[in-house]
Amino acid sequence: MADKSTSGEVLGVPYNFERPSIGRMLSSYWRPGEGMLVEKPFGVGYTLNLANWRSWVVVLVAGALLWQQEQGASESTDDTDDEPVEVIVDDESGD
């Protein structure tokens, strides 16, 4: 039976299931001179290269959107009144 590869590519997407070391984890997230996306140290796909300024823009935009969503959720819960509403129906049908 052939040994299964623990790292490689499938349909152009990298994977790596080797046991990660601390050095490999740290060096994979900080690669000066590389693009915004780099291969993940463990798992399938890509991750952000924090040595690239574009990655920080992505992190800031994601943080701002999360903050905006949380603010909207807290405002919508403050505006709702859970008090009962009385409805009066005037049935004057001229009969």
pLDDT digits (tens, 9 = 90+) for 2-34: 677 888 888 989 998 888 889 888 888 999 999
Residue with token string 């152009």:
12
Q: Tens digits of per-residue pLDDT, 30-52?
A: 999 999 999 998 999 999 999 99
Structure tokens belonging to residue 82 = 């859970």
Closest listed residue to residue 28, CA positions, set 6, 10, 13, 45: 45
Q: What is the pLDDT of residue 63?
A: 96
pTM of the shown model: 0.62
pLDDT at position 21 is: 87
Alpha-carbon gap, residue 29 to 58, rounded angstroms: 14
- At position 20, the amino acid (one-letter code) is P
pLDDT digits (tens, 9 = 90+) for 35-94: 999 999 899 999 999 999 999 999 999 999 999 999 988 776 555 567 888 888 988 776
pLDDT of residue 78: 55
